[in-house]
Structure 1
Amino acid sequence: MTSTNSEFKPQVNEVNAVIDKLTEHITNNQDRLDFLDILHQFRHTFDTSIVTQAHLTIHHTIPTADARPTSVRPFYKTPQQREVLHKEVEKLLHDNVTRGSASPWTSPVILKKKPDGTYRFIVDFRRLNAVTEKDAYPQPTTEELLNRLAGHRFFTKLDLKSGYFQIPISEADKEKTAFVTQDGLYEFNVLAQGLMNAPPTFQRVMNNLIAAGRWNYVVVYLDDILIFSDSIKEHKKHVIEVLSILQKARFTVSPSKCVIAVEKVEFLSHIITVAGIEPSPDKIQAILDIPSPKTLT
């Protein structure tokens, strides 16, 4: 399968290395060759060198009825923070995640410091969210997802790369996502973290995209896709069907978070095998690490 769009040509050597690594654990030589062939067939889906928007019929909307635009001045930033913010905004513009804006709506930016000293870029959409009509689209519960996976032998997990940034926003609503810095005003072209209805939109998109096999051989929770099968022969077919859907819609996945044709997989903080489902060790440890309650005397 080829693409005539020059923006979507994969970096061949890098993608080859990614595909080799994803299949190196498969011990049966014929099965490994088969999955190598499958992943090469859908190589564009594993190419993260270009930031792309998915081709979808569903776009994120921000219904605000007759609410007046909300506006907040930019928060104070130190010279160091302004430099960090400038670089982040330049990258977002370069990747077509955002564009310049002349919107009457404005939200401020927060830079949250991480343990490693770097900053996380966050737009404070609280005022916009306060006037946004709630989207009641349902999300599957952990219990029903895990119950559907029980008893199956082979699993492939796909994680969409920067999943929100692959979902377009309705043109009429882009101005509502505008954020302000000391350097200018910008708005999102794609779904942004912090928007109230972002999770329902993402779930709706994925449910509509992967409608045919959903619950039969694939479950979806936001940007996590888990394919499950009883036999390796079935699994090859199921993986082809899901990757075909993703590539047609021009979604890309994050290879470092994907696993292909394994018999043990972690999903929603649980370890799943044909023998059963149990909490992941990290989840158990987190519970054990909770400090004991102290009573006042």
Structure 2
Amino acid sequence: MEGIHTFKSLLQKGDWLVKIDLKDSYFSVPISKEHRKFLCFEFRDNFYQLNCLPFVLASAPWVFTKTFKLIAALGQELGIRFVVDIDDILMAETKEKARDQASGLIYLLQCLGFTVNMEKTVLDPSQCLKFSGFLVDTTKVELSLPAQKIKKIRWNPNSYWRQSLFAPSQD
């Protein structure tokens, strides 16, 4: 996924943001018939072949990102700035442009076989929005941690460090 680094490079001061969430996004990526033989299993004496990208496949994030980069390139040709991540986020110079481009992007995604999760999608343009675990404020061009995450780290820093790849020094 492109994530926060790409997002920071595309973000402009005062941008308006919308967030488009895809429902079961991996399941929208079909597997060609010739490759399905590599994605099969047997269960209770029945043989199954997967016809869409499974979550459990180690290369699934890579395949999905490569697939979606083609969509992102098409969007860029149409003048749409957006970042591919767990949640897709679109940014535009004006509230109206963000709203219009979001409608166009949703239409494009649906035409390509993706299902938009409208319950998690944020279509009302905002200059402050949560993205990839960060709060984004385009008026200040600032990324910050939500207060709840900061509180969790302050409340019990050892539990945070135990869950991460890094541990505090014992010196």
The two structures share one fold, judged by TM-score above 0.5 = yes
TM alignment of 1:116-265, pairs within 5 A:
139-214=1-76, 217-221=81-85, 223-263=86-126, 264-265=128-129
1:217·1:227 contact (CA, 8 Å) conserved in 2?
yes
2:98·2:125 contact (CA, 8 Å) conserved in 1?
no
- What is the SS of the residue equivalent to 1:244? helix
Q: Sequence identity of aligned pairs in percent?
A: 24
Q: Which has the larger radius of gyration?
A: 1
Runs of at least 5 residues in structure 1 that lack an aligned partner in the other structure? 1-138
**Counting strand residues as a fraction of each chain, which structure ranks higher?**
2
Runs of at least 5 residues in structure 2 that lack an aligned partner in the other structure? 160-167
Deviation of 1:205 (Å): 1.4
Letter in 1 for 2:130: E
Kindly provide the CA deviation profile for residues 116-142 of structure 1, in whole angstroms up to 9, marking residues without a partner as x. xxxxxxxxxxxxxxxxxxxxxxx4252
Letter in 2 for 1:243: I
1:150·1:277 contact (CA, 8 Å) conserved in 2?
no
Deviation of 1:175 (Å): 1.9
Distance 1:282 1:163, change over 3 A: farther
Q: Hey, what's the Cα distance between the residues in 2 that align with 1:246 and 1:230? A: 22
Partner of 1:291: 158
Instruction: Write out the 4+ residue segments of structure 1 that deviate beyond 3 Å after TM superposition.
Output: 212-216, 285-290, 292-296
TM-score by length of structure 1 reads 0.47
Deviation of 1:283 (Å): 3.6
Task: Work out the number of aligned pairs and report it.
Answer: 157
Query: Aligned Cα RMSD in Å?
Result: 2.6
Deviation of 1:242 (Å): 0.9
Letter in 1 for 2:153: I
Kindly provide the CA deviation profile for residues 2-46 of structure 1, in whole angstroms up to 9, marking residues without a partner as x. xxxxxxxxxxxxxxxxxxxxxxxxxxxxxxxxxxxxxxxxxxxxx
TM-score by length of structure 2 reads 0.77
- What is the SS of the residue equivalent to 1:210? helix
Distance 1:197 1:283, change over 3 A: same
Distance 1:282 1:166, change over 3 A: farther
Deviation of 1:208 (Å): 0.7
Partner of 2:144: 278
Higher relative contact order (CA 8 A, sep 6+): 2
Q: Hey, what's the Cα distance between the residues in 1 that align with 2:136 and 2:8? A: 8
Q: Hey, what's the Cα distance between the residues in 2 that align with 1:294 and 1:152? A: 40
Partner of 1:42: none
Distance 1:260 1:224, change over 3 A: same
Distance 1:294 1:251, change over 3 A: closer
Distance 1:179 1:286, change over 3 A: farther
Kindly provide the CA deviation profile for residues 58-116 of structure 1, in whole angstroms up to 9, marking residues without a partner as x. xxxxxxxxxxxxxxxxxxxxxxxxxxxxxxxxxxxxxxxxxxxxxxxxxxxxxxxxxxx
Deviation of 1:150 (Å): 4.6
